[in-house]
Amino acid sequence: MDKQEGSDVSAVPIEDPWHDTAVPRQREPGAAEIYLEVQRSPAFQEVRRRYRRFVFPAALAFLLWYLAYVVAATAAPGFMARPVAGAVNVAMVAGLGQFLTTFLLTWAYARHARLRRDRAALELRWDTQEMTRGVAQR
Amino acid sequence: MTGDHQTLALVLFSVFIAVTLGITTWVSRNRHGSAEEFYAGGRLFSPLENGFAIAGDYMSAASFLGISGLIALYGYDGMLYSVGFLVAWLVVLLLVAELVRNCGRFTLADVVAARMAERPVRIAAGTSSVAVSVLYLVAQMVGAGSLVALLLGGTSEAARSWTVIGVGALMVIYVSLGGMRATTWIQIVKAVLLMAGTITLTVLVLLRFHGDVNSLLSAAADRSGHGRDFLAPGLRYGGDWTSRLDFISLGIALVLGTAGLPHILSRFYTVPTARAARRSVVWSIGLIGSFYLMTIVLGFGAAALIGPAEVRASNASGNTAIPLLALDLGGGAGSTGGTVLFAVVAAVAFATILAVVAGITLASSASVAHDLYSSLRRRHAKRQYSEVTVARLAAAGIGAAAIGLGLLARDLNVAFLVGLAFAVAASANLPVLLYSLFWRKFTTRGAVWSVYGGLVPAVLLVLLSPVVSGSPESLFPGVDFHVFPLQNPGVISIPLGFLAGWIGAVTSAEPPDAARHAETEVRALTGAGAA
């Protein structure tokens, strides 16, 4: 009787009512290994590499560009006041340039993520969830 | 200001309140009372809706009235704010939005606690989130009070106090009854109104100059009395090196602070996936960027059409530049067009304050209920209140505290409160967030140290700065204990936050948990297991 119940539980996938609700993080044994395994997998390493290769240089570049802009505005107002065309001076061009680079970088990032990362990330998501679901039912 | 303006503005504002209260009741019809619903609106918003809501959450009255007023008074130096407020969104887009959506449930602390010992991390991150929110909230409440005095001519103390109380009461109703769903819709409505109003005014300004930006700038420079200097940096922040360093400090805090603001972070949980979070940030960058571009046109337009002298005569800090400009564009005082435009601007400004205040209240009540209450509640005590009930009560408590502080602080300059909120967010919240997401060897001690290591210096430096004592404009002009020369602590406290987190992590005895780091990293980049 006991034996039969036990085998039933393991054979039939039971809808776990707690799975989707706010259970505090009580990881099933084995989930840790799965995440470590996924993290080490070449597919995940590739997604992470693509993300970081784009994001880290881009973040550094725009932070430096913004810092240069702010420091130039406070430390070199004479240079910034130099006229370019009509009433437009270097400071105006630099300020509008900040707007332009923000829009451009936003577009470039969205495009990069859509074309180079989204599909691979989605596949990894399904794989990982399949693997952890198996663990949760064991 | 004549009676016509006031009546029409009050009517429009009442219509807005009626519509938003209608939304609040409508969205709370089929309420289940789940935490998912209260904090995250059921995670069912589309990227477009959430993009408008983010923009509505972010574009405060300080941006709408304050920045264009600064441009009208000081020319180019005001524009530096517009740039900083926009560029900050790149930090959010590139480093924060998607990863936070994947790793957390409702608050900043969720992301950090996924890798660390839950209790100390939640208490630390919850405390700093509440601190940032309350600072920001008080600034908005005080702004609401002075706005009424400025726009409706009700300069009496009583009118300002009642405005603060009224705004506080309304936001408690929105948040505790409607939760995130109502708050989001209020922000969407407000963002549409604000964009429509700004576009109308901008088009009218450009039409006045026949679409010639060059002649607009020249007219602004001529009218300002500074000539070409008006179009170059230096009028406001060009003094001694202390004031220049102060400005650099503010600029850094503006750019790094946005990504640590609790009410911005909580907006990413209202969409179903990380991809939707990214697309909503792209929408909001488009909206916020075009909005700030238009405030530049409006600021220089006010300088050219009204003149800095007249703007300053109406309000010393320039907050009434846009209302005055609206009056002029509509055909001048006494004309129907002028009256209507002025009333529209006043009503939009009120709507702005209500929407922003509701967003912050919701985020801070989430921090109180989800982080602080759940951590401080005794472990094995029988749970008496559900988390959502606590969050509703917390919204009322925070509303009451904000009303009280807003009344106490009503005579103070509030610009530094906003700056301080950004500085605290950048010093205490951003380092712990970035370390948790990107640093393999980060530990619990590092997390706790980086929060307090940024929070405590930021607050201490402000207490020891000329903002609080030692100058005629400070909080306590009578005494002098200021030892720190800058008004903006960011340039010191942000590096301290990062440094404290690093020292805490490398000195901690507990080794970093490789498995939980793997889980965070995999979840962050793939969305596996995301709520």
B306 three-state secondary structure: coil
Q: CA A65, CA A78: separation in Å to the nearest integer? A: 19
Average pLDDT over residues B154-173: 82
Q: Is the pLDDT of residue B211 over 70?
A: yes
Nearest residue on chain B to A77, judged by CA atoms? B233
Give B135's contacts (C-beta < 8 A, 6+ positions apart).
B417, B418, B420, B421, B424
pLDDT above 60: residue A137:
no
Give the CA distances from residue B266 to residues A31, B43, B216, B360, B390, in Å, rounded to whole numbers and listed in that order. 27, 11, 40, 10, 18
CB contact under 8 A, B521 and A47: no
Side chain identity at residue A88, one-letter code: V
B405: tokens are: 């502080």
pLDDT number for residue A110: 96
User: How many angstroms away from the CA of A15 is the closest CA of chain B?
Assistant: 16
B526 and A73 within 8 Å at the Cβ level: the answer is: no
B228 CB within 8 Å of a chain A CB: yes
Residues of A in contact with B275 (CB under 8 A): 113, 118
pLDDT tens digits, A44-66: 999 999 999 999 999 999 999 99
Q: Using a CB-CB distance cutoff of 8 angstroms, which residues of chain B are in contact with residue A91?
A: 76, 231-233
Q: Which residues pair with A88 in a beta bridge?
A: A85
Asked if residues B137 and B353 have their Cβ atoms less than 8 Å apart, the reply is no
Residue that has been written with the tokens 């909005």 in this structure? B291
Euclidean distance between CA atoms A35 and B519, whole angstroms: 5
Nearest to A77 among B87, B238, B278 (CB): B238
Read off the tokens for B296. Answer: 């530049």
| Domains of chain B, start order | 3-373+411-526 (1.20.1730.10)
Mean residue pLDDT of chain B comes to: 88
Does the structure show a pLDDT above 60 at A11? no
d(CA B187, CA B196): 14
Each residue of B118-163: pLDDT tens digit?
899 999 999 999 999 998 888 888 877 777 776 666 667 787 788 8
Nearest CA in chain A to B519: A35
Task: Check whether A24 has a pLDDT greater than 70.
Answer: no
Percent of chain B with pLDDT over 70: 95
User: Which of B90, B247, B252 faces A105 most closely, judged by CB atoms?
Assistant: B90
pLDDT winner (highest mean) among A102-111, B24-33, B311-320, B508-517? A102-111
Size of interface A-B (CB pairs under 8 A): 168
8 A C-beta contact, residue A128 and residue A34: yes
Alpha-carbon distance of B58 to B53, in angstroms, equals 9
- Point out the least confidently predicted range of A30-34, B68-72, B364-368: A30-34
At B361, list the tokens.
Answer: 């209240």
pLDDT at A12: 41
Is B255 within 8 Å of A66 when comparing Cβ atoms? yes
Which pLDDT does position A136 carry in this prediction? 59
Which of A67, A89, A99 minimises the CB distance to B293?
A99
Q: Is B282 on the interface with A (CB under 8 A)?
A: yes
Residue of B nearest to A120 (CA): B526
B117 in reach of chain A (CB within 8 A) = no
pLDDT, tens only, B46-60:
999 999 999 999 998
Q: B369-392 b/e with 16+ CB inside 10 Å = b?
A: bbbbbbbeeeeeeeeeeebbebbb
- Res B171 pLDDT > 90: no
- Give me B352's structure tokens: 């702005």
Q: Quote the pLDDT of residue B460.
A: 92
Q: Which residue of B has its CA nearest to A23?
A: B531
Share of chain B above pLDDT 90, in %: 46
**Global pTM value:** 0.89
Give how far B403 is from chain A: nearest CA, Å: 33
Nearest to B37 by CA among B385, B527, B391, B526: B391
In A, which residues are within 8 Å of B114 by CB distance? 25
Please report the pLDDT score of residue B452 as a whole number: 96
Task: Transcribe A24-66 into DSSP letters.
Answer: -S-PPTTHHHHHHHHHHSHHHHHHHHHHHHHHHHHHHHHHHHH
Radius of gyration, CA atoms only, chain B: 23
Q: How far apart are the first and last CA of chain A?
A: 20
Q: Tell me the β-bridge partners of B476.
A: B469
Instruction: Classify burial at B300, counting beta carbons within 10 Å of its beta carbon; exposed 0-12, middle 13-18, buried 19 or more.
Output: buried
Interchain CB contact of B234 with A (< 8 Å) = yes
* Over residues B325-343, mean pLDDT: 85
- Cβ of residue B91 closer than 8 Å to a chain A Cβ: yes
A94 to A38, B39, B80, B147, B481: CA distances (angstroms): 45, 40, 11, 33, 40
ipTM confidence score: 0.91
Judged against a pLDDT cut of 50, whether residue A94 lies above it is answered with yes
With 80 as the cut, is the pLDDT of residue A1 above it? no
Task: Please state, in angstroms and rounded to a whole number, the distance separating the CA atoms of residues B273 and B43.
Answer: 9
Q: Render pLDDT for B502-525 as a digit per residue (tens, 0 to 9).
A: 999 999 988 888 999 999 999 999
- N-term to C-term CA, chain B: 52
Round the average pLDDT of chain A to a whole number and report it. Answer: 80
